[in-house]
Amino acid sequence: MNTDRMNTPMQALAQQLQQFADERQWGPYHSPKNLASALVVEAGELLEHFQWLTEAQSRELTPEQKQAVAHEMADVLLYLVQLSTSVGVDLMAAAQDKIVLNAQKYPVTCPVTPPASP
């Protein structure tokens, strides 16, 4: 039986990333600490694209800005997936668990009205 068809997209991405790193012999550098550090750096690079924008501008990115943001978001995702593999965390299960915890912590009591735009 071909188990590749049973992989989720997240598992397939994790396998692709592992192969990419293995081919370059990057394993010794991919400790959880290093991957978490790289993730934070990439998240900072993502934030740079929004740093001096207004709220309105951040919602109306140009195609070029959107592409640059997409690349940084991908970097964040890739490091997060590698970190999850490194520590043995099922990201989708963890995310689902966290949504349940957040729903318990922040129950819906009444709708929140967003602040008016300046």
In a domain, 55, yes or no: yes
Show the DSSP H helices in 26-90 as ranges. Answer: 32-48, 55-59, 63-87
Domain that holds residue 98: 16-105
Q: Does residue 9 belong to any structural domain of this protein?
A: no
Q: Examine residue 49 and state whether it is found in any structural domain, yes or no.
A: yes
Domain membership flag for residue 97: yes
User: Between 2 and 92, where is the model more confident?
Assistant: 92
**pLDDT tens digits for 19-59?**
999 999 999 999 999 999 999 999 999 999 999 999 999 99
Q: Is 43 a member of any domain?
A: yes
Per-residue CA distances from 99 to 11, 44, 75, 96, 112 (Å): 21, 24, 23, 5, 19
Range with the poorest average pLDDT among 25-29, 92-96, 102-106, 111-115: 111-115
Q: Is residue 40 part of a domain?
A: yes
Indicate the residue type of 21: A
**pTM given for the model:** 0.84
Residue 69 placed within a domain: yes
Spatial CB neighbours of 69, under 8 Å, sequence gap ≥ 6: 46, 49, 50, 61
Give CA torsion, residues 91, 95, 101, 104, to 10 deg: -170
Domain count across the chain: 1
Q: Residue 76's domain is classified under what CATH number? A: 1.10.287.1080
What is the average per-residue pLDDT within 56-80? 98
